A and B are shown apart, each in its own frame.
Chain A
């Protein structure tokens, strides 16, 4: 097929007939003296084939802007003090117009941003785009990942619920394992021995003042480097044989494709935010009367889970060493990896170990998510419990005060401390219906679905204990 060569917009623009005059020939561009710069940025050729993975960076930027806008709105309604912070969260969610949506957009945006930044980095690593002359772009990118994680970490405490409080208690204790300066750092972060309203103010200041300033500075460098050194896909286009090169230029074709990608990201974010509320548990209780089991932020699941497998002497290595090593290796990567080839299969020395590490992080994150119990501990969820081995000890520890043989005889309360007793209907109702926890009075009472909740007047049973009892009933309440 014969193709007629049309003039590229860049050439047309140089000759004074700009095809996008509204963009490149306006008052502002003239004053800024940026016409040549704009032309070079907008009208370079790009490969015709698009890969959405190339848009993960602009996707991260889009979500960051979402965080800025929703964050400013939230900051106008929120005061970082105890207990106002928690009440404000509730007020934003239930009373302020569209407050729930802003809150959810911010919450899910934060999660999405961690994911996008991570995959953006993975993609850049995979195609080896960090090599000379783009080392600084990569280093700034690694710093941005770090800042993103710090954003999520400091933001996590702000709702001041149980989850926030205890995850931060554990998270801020981690530097304790650093040699020499450990305790100093913990006290500096917390502003005292524990998580208090002082810590809340600190995290708030860091979250809304320090990190945004840092982020914008490092992002400025990152973005400048991208513009100055151009994207690797532009280089690829230059290397292609003439016939395969399209007449496609960055503007408007690629920019439009980017917008399409952003629309997809935006829709996804909006869809989740409209359907799933950001969790808010009970207000933070430093005494933990309800036996809440601390759960880390999901992107710390991998470290949290790893700590269960490694011998305790290696804990400082897992808590301090690994993240530190990971950070240093990432920063140094463009200087270590000097293989000039770009495809992953040509750089197996780097891509294979990286694939193993990423797979391990994914696996540990998954295991951490599904397995919040502890190995070997008695408050672990028992998968196949029996009455005599697993259930009776629970009942003896938590229910014997009111449900023993003696109290049964004097007060007529259900007798739970024998297999026969627990299978005896009370006032015509079965305490347990083997196979169906939802119909078992015992289960409904300990979960509070039927009031009054048991143990009467005491703290609810730990989650894992309740799960064990549920498993026992589900599997037919074996003796």
Chain B
């Protein structure tokens, strides 16, 4: 094939272009492509290629995140965990709170007649399960890094950044109802 046929003409001066692209070396060397002002065809197209690629990527990422991020958990329901008489003042009882697709342990005691105190059993440090050690120690202890909480769930020793997470509760008809975790 004759080479003359495939050569492009410079988009600025109209002379044939030797190498790749649509601007001749003379024009490039003298910066004529910059002088023309506005956005050159070349920059417009390159920007378009990058922009479209980016848009498609962001679109997929958005779908991915929206799809995978769990819907906000405000749907925690109250659950009957037994009659009030099951819970003493001195000792915590571990009850099961069944959420959507998961089971959670909640320590419950009757602080005063009809008044409940309850805490999630996951340590506030790294979520190991804490154990209640009854009188005379009266502490929640974590087996992982030794965080300790007092009978009111307050952090007293170890690396935890805060106290145990409480749960919502209510007493109705002599029964204790446990709700979602309060952060």
Interface residues of A (CB under 8 A from B): 166, 169-170, 173-174, 184, 187-188, 190-198, 202, 286-288, 291, 293-294, 307-308, 312, 315, 374-380, 397, 462, 464
Give B98 Cβ to nearest chain A Cβ, in Å: 10
Cα distance A286–B139 when bound, in Å?
A: 21
B179 on interface, CB distance cutoff 8 Å: no
13 residue pairs bridging A and B, Cβ less than 8 Å apart? A170-B127, A170-B128, A174-B126, A187-B69, A193-B70, A288-B121, A288-B129, A294-B128, A294-B143, A374-B142, A375-B146, A376-B146, A379-B141
Distance A331 CA – B18 CA, assembled complex (angstroms) = 42
Of A193, A286, A288, A376, which is within 8 A of B157 by CB? A376
Output the least CB separation between A303 and chain B (Å). Answer: 11
Residues of A within 8 A of B129 (CB): 166, 287-288, 291, 294
Closest to A319 in B: B126
Determine if B105 and A307 form an interchain contact, defined as CB atoms under 8 angstroms apart: no
- From B26-34, B36-44, B158-166, B168-176, the one touching the partner chain is B158-166
Q: Does B93 contact A (CB under 8 A)?
A: no
With A190-B70, A194-B104, A377-B148 already in contact, 10 other A-B pairs whose C-beta atoms are closer than 8 Å:
A184-B69, A188-B70, A192-B70, A195-B102, A196-B101, A288-B129, A308-B145, A312-B161, A374-B142, A397-B134
Nearest Cβ on chain B to A169's Cβ, whole angstroms: 5
Distance from A324 Cβ to chain B, minimum over Cβ atoms (Å): 18
Residues of A within 8 A of B102 (CB): 192-196, 286
Q: B122 contacts which chain A residues (CB < 8 A)?
A: 169
A464 to B143, CA, bound (A): 9
Contacts of A202 in B (CB 8 A): 68
Known: A287-B94, A288-B105. A192 touches B73 (CB 8 A): yes
B126 touching A193, Cβ below 8 Å: no
- CB contacts (< 8 Å) of B65 on chain A: these are 188
B16 in the interface (beta carbon within 8 A): no
Give the A-binding residues of B (Cβ under 8 A). Answer: 65, 68-70, 73, 94, 96, 99-105, 121-122, 125-129, 131, 133-134, 137, 139, 141-146, 148, 157-161, 181
Shortest Cβ gap from A192 to chain B (Å): 5
Query: Which chain A residues border B181 with CB–CB below 8 Å?
Result: 193
| From B94, B96, B103, B143, contact of A374 by CB (8 A) | B143
A308 neighbours in B (Cβ, 8 Å): 145-146
CB neighbours of A194 from chain B (8 A)? 99, 102, 104
* Contact yes or no, A294 B104, CB < 8 A: no
Q: In the complex, which residue of chain B has the Cβ closest to the Cβ of A169? A: B127
Q: Please state if B126 and A377 are interface contacts (CB–CB under 8 Å).
A: no
Distance in Å: Cβ of B179 to nearest Cβ of chain A: 14
A448 to chain B, nearest CB (A): 19
Q: Are A379 and B131 in contact (CB under 8 A)?
A: yes
- The 9 lowest CB-CB distance pairs between A and B, nearest first, are A374-B146, A312-B159, A377-B146, A288-B129, A293-B143, A196-B102, A173-B127, A286-B103, A170-B126
- B105 near A287 (CB under 8 angstroms)? yes
A257 to chain B, nearest CB (A): 45
Do the beta carbons of B144 and A294 come within 8 Å of each other? Answer: yes
- Is there contact, CB below 8 Å, between B128 and A187? no
Closest to B73 in A: A193
**CA A372 – CA B146 in complex, angstroms?**
11
Residues of A within 8 A of B104 (CB): 194, 286-287
Give the docked Cα–Cα distance between A192 and B104 (Å): 13
Give the distance in Å from the alpha carbon of A193 to the alpha carbon of B70 in the complex.
9
B101 near A378 with CB under 8 A, answer: no
Inter-chain contact A287/B101, CB cutoff 8 Å? no
Q: Which residues of the other chain, A, contact B100 by a CB distance below 8 angstroms? A: 192
Contact B144–A193 (Cβ < 8 Å): no
In the complex, how many angstroms separate the beta carbon of B161 from the nearest chain A beta carbon? Answer: 7
Residue pair A166, B146 in contact (C-beta under 8 Å): no
In the bound complex, CA of A307 to CA of B181 (Å):
26
A360-B100 Cα distance, complex, nearest whole Å? 43
Of all chain B residues, the one with the shortest Cβ separation from A166 is B128
Contact A378 B133 (CB under 8 A): yes
With both beta carbons as reference points, the residue of chain B lying nearest to A463 in the complex is identified as B143
Contacts of B69 in A (CB 8 A): 184, 187-188
State A170–B158 Cα separation when bound (angstroms).
Answer: 16
Alpha-carbon distance between A376 and B126 when the two chains are bound, in angstroms: 18
Query: Smallest Cβ distance from A323 to chain B, in angstroms?
Result: 15
Q: Is there contact, CB below 8 Å, between A287 and B103? A: yes
Q: In the complex the two chains form, what is the Cα distance from A374 to B94 in whole Å?
A: 23
- Closest CB of chain B to A292's CB: distance in Å? 8
Nearest chain A CB to B90 CB, angstrom units: 13
Q: Is B159 a contact of A379 with CB atoms below 8 Å? A: no
Residue of B nearest to A193 (CB): B73
A315:B133 contact, CB within 8 angstroms: no
